Amino acid sequence: MLAGARVERGFSPQRVLQHPPVLGLTRTANYLSCGQIGSIEISSISSLRALLSDGVVRGLSIIVRLGSASMPPLLLSAQSKNVACPLCLVFSVAAMLSAQSLRELGDARGVHVGSAVNPSHLAEPEYSATLAKEFSQIEPENAMKFGPIHPAPGNYNFGPADEVAQFARSHNQLLRGAVLVWHNQNPSWVTGGKHTPEQLSSILRDHIAAVVGHYAGQVYAWDVVNEAFTAGGKLRSTIWYDSPGIGLSGTGYVEQAFRWARSADPKALLFYNDYETETINSKSDAVYAMARDFKSRGVPIDGIGFQMHLTRETERVGRMEANIRRFTALGLQVQITELDVRLPLDSGNLASPRALARQAKIYRQIVELCLKFKQCTAVQTWGFTDKYSWIPRTYPGKGDALPFDSGYKPKPAYEGIVAAFKSRRPKQP
């Protein structure tokens, strides 16, 4: 009987399969007569999660979902729904499973599910409730960038990013940091200061030391440098590189930033982050050459962020795998850092059902892509609700890019992510 079924610490799915009380859904339905009380003891939430992610013990997941709200984590019990027949129970199990949050599904597959966050929205109950429920990782969309966090010489405005850090702590979420070095969103005291390379070098060194130092032990992974390359694979002209730069040639300024970041927090993971580098092209070739060089010389780089601001027309998903593989083969983590899929909007500001379905497929494919690689450790969207997305402002007539609509309802894209996490493909080594 399901009542009293026990999942022991370290139980493997194979052993569970041989364990009569925790057979699959249909058998479970047969065991549990309608309206009967069943209970289950478990000694390890994580081993249970692994079992659930394997999709074998769905009969158990209803128990956990029903019990987890009110029961202590190591002893869960539950009452089967008041249903009239096993078929109804099957139906209710399916409904419960679809109610699993993205963060629970991601946890079960070893992938952090993240979102960019604007601290000014945290006071909005639906915004914060959705963020807390669905995401295991958050990152300030703007609040840690140079301009917002360091608006005047020696004057750091940590308040807004600290709010995000506090939210992460309160909701058991990882905090990701972005970004230390970028051509954009630099304050006018930096861009207009007519500094010499030596002065700019000290400014950047002090900035990285202060910001990374402030969040040491809080931010687990930093985007250290953003978007250093052009589409053609050349180094982009920026104040940090050549206008006038910090006095280092080639990718020297990128390397220096990684070294400063590592000294400021030896434990944080350090990422290089860029857009349109998902497939093999001139830009991703340049990023790859830099990463390979850094790894060969011991420059402290831990991962590559692929932003993935995608469009409905993106036919590139199938061409991303080989690119991700070459980066993971260098011993680097990869993370999807800014995922969104923008759609054309009609005069009523709505995307067509067809476009939303296509978008759902792309979200699903991207999560499935990440799940193929053990080294792909996070999928993060750039915001989560269409109510607050950078897209309509930057691409007039486009929008609806995120998994939740403006009223915080999950869209087909959300279901696409769920479906990917429930797929059972093993990760590659």
Q: Cite the active site residues.
A: 227, 338
Residue 278 found at the interface with ligand G3I (CB under 6 A)? no
372-386 burial by CB neighbour count: b if 16+ within 10 A, else e?
A: ebebbbbbbbbbbbb
Q: Report the residue from 185, 230, 243, 249 that binds ligand G3I according to the rule CB under 6 A.
A: 185
In the bound state with ligand G3I, the residue whose beta carbon lies nearer, of 151 and 153, is 151
Other CB atoms closer than 10 Å to residue 255's CB: what's the count?
Answer: 19
Binding mask 1-40 for ligand G3I (x = CB under 6 A): ----------------------------------------
Q: Which of residues 84-113 bind ligand G3I (CB under 6 A)?
A: none
When CB distances to ligand G3I are compared, the closest residue is 390
Within positions 337 to 366, which residues make up the interface with ligand G3I, using CB under 6 A?
Answer: 338
CB 89 within 8 A of CB 79: no
Q: Compute the least distance from the CB of residue 337 to ligand G3I, in Å.
A: 8
381 is a site residue for ligand G3I (CB under 6 A) = no
Instruction: Tell whether residue 380 is a contact of ligand G3I (CB under 6 A).
Output: no
Min dist. Cβ of residue 363 to ligand G3I (A): 18
184 lies in the binding site for ligand G3I (CB under 6 A)? yes
- Minimum Å distance from CB 180 to ligand G3I? 12
User: In angstroms, what is the minimal distance from the CB of 137 to ligand G3I?
Assistant: 16
Q: Could you say whether residue 120 binds ligand G3I (CB under 6 A)? A: no
Residue 142 binds to ligand G3I (criterion: CB under 6 A): yes
Looking only at residues 286 through 345 of this chain, which bind ligand G3I when binding is defined by CB under 6 A? 307, 338
One residue of 107, 139, 141, 400 binding ligand G3I per CB under 6 A: 141
Q: How far is the CB of 208 from ligand G3I (least distance, A)?
A: 17
- Using the rule CB under 6 A, is 390 a contact of ligand G3I? yes
Residue ranges that bind ligand G3I, judged by CB under 6 A? 141-142, 184-185, 226, 275, 307, 338, 390
